[in-house]
Structure 1
Amino acid sequence: MADAGSLINWSLLALEPPGWGGVLLAGLWNSIQIAIGGYGLGLILGTGGAMGKLYGGPVTKDLLEVYTTLVRAVPELVLILILYYAGTDVLNQISAALGWGAVDISGLAAGIFVIGVVQGAYSTEVLRGAIKAVPAGEIEAARAYGMSPVQIMRRVTLPAMLPHAIPGLSNLWLIATKDTALLAVVGFSELTLVTRQAAGSTKAYLLFFCAAGALYLMITLVSNVLIGFIERHYRRGMVRPA
Structure 2
Amino acid sequence: MTGALTTLALAVAVVPFGFGGGLVLALLKSSHRRLVRALCDAFTTFFRGIPDLLALFLIYFGLQALIDKLSHLFGDAVHIEVNAFVAGVIALSVVVAAYSSEVWIASLKAIPSGQIEAAHALGLERRRVFLLVVLPQLGRVALPGLGNIWTILVKDTSLVSTLALMDLLRAASEASKATTRPILFYSVAAAVYLVVSIGSALVQGYLEKRANRGYA
In 1, distance between residues paired with 2:53 and 2:27?
A: 28
Equivalent residue, structure 1, for 2:169: 192
Contact 2:64–2:81 under 8 Å retained in 1: no
Normalised by the size of structure 2, how large is the TM-score?
A: 0.95
Residue type at the aligned position of 2:47: V
Bigger Cα Rg? 1
Shift of 1:189: 1.0
Per-residue deviation, residues 130-163 of structure 1 (Å, max 9, x unmatched)? 1011111111011112222232112211233323
Whether the 8 Å CA contact 1:92–1:101 is kept in 2: the answer is no
Tell me how far 1:221 sits from its aligned partner.
Answer: 1.7
Q: Percent identity?
A: 29
Matched, 1:157 2:134: yes
Q: What pairs with 1:45-64 in structure 2 (closer than 5 Å)? A: 45-64=21-40
Query: SS state of the match for residue 105, structure 1?
Result: coil
Structure 1: runs of 5 or more not aligned = 1-24
Q: Which residue of 1 aligns with 2:184?
A: 207
4+ runs deviating over 6 angstroms: none
Residue 69 of structure 1: aligned partner: 45
Q: Tell me the C-alpha RMSD between the 2 structures.
A: 1.3
CA distance in 2, matches of 1:32, 1:92: 30
Query: Mind listing any 5+ residue stretches in structure 2 that lack a counterpart?
Result: none
> Aligned to 1:132, which of 103, 109, 126?
109
In 1, Cα distance between the equivalents of 2:27 and 2:74?
34
Deviations for 1:25-59, whole angstroms, at most 9, x for unmatched residues? 11111111111111221112111101100125222
Q: Using the alignment, how far apart are the partners of 1:56 and 1:27 within structure 2? A: 46
Residues 198 and 66 of structure 1: CA distance in aligned 2, closer, same or farther (over 3 Å)? same
In the alignment, which residue of structure 2 is the partner of 1:85? 61
Q: Distance in 1 between matches of 2:41 and 2:74?
A: 32
Partner of 1:115: 92
**Could you tell me how far apart the structure 2 residues matched to 1:149 and 1:133 are?**
18
Looking at structure 1, the residues matched to 196 and 166 of structure 2 have their Cα atoms a distance apart, in angstroms, of 18
Three-state SS of the structure 1 residue aligned to 2:30 is helix
Instruction: Name the CA distance, whole Å, in 1 between partners of 2:95 and 2:68.
Output: 22
Q: Is contact 1:38-1:114 (8 Å) kept?
A: no
Residues of 1 paired with 2:108 and 2:93: CA distance? 21
Q: What's 1:143 paired with? A: 120
Given residue 20 of structure 2, which amino acid in structure 1 is its aligned partner?
A: I
Give the distance between the partners of 2:198 and 2:49, measured in 1 at CA.
Answer: 29
In structure 1, C-alpha distance between the alignment counterparts of 2:165 and 2:83, rounded to whole Å:
9
1:142 partner letter: A
1:38 corresponds to which letter in structure 2? V
Counterpart position of 1:94: 70
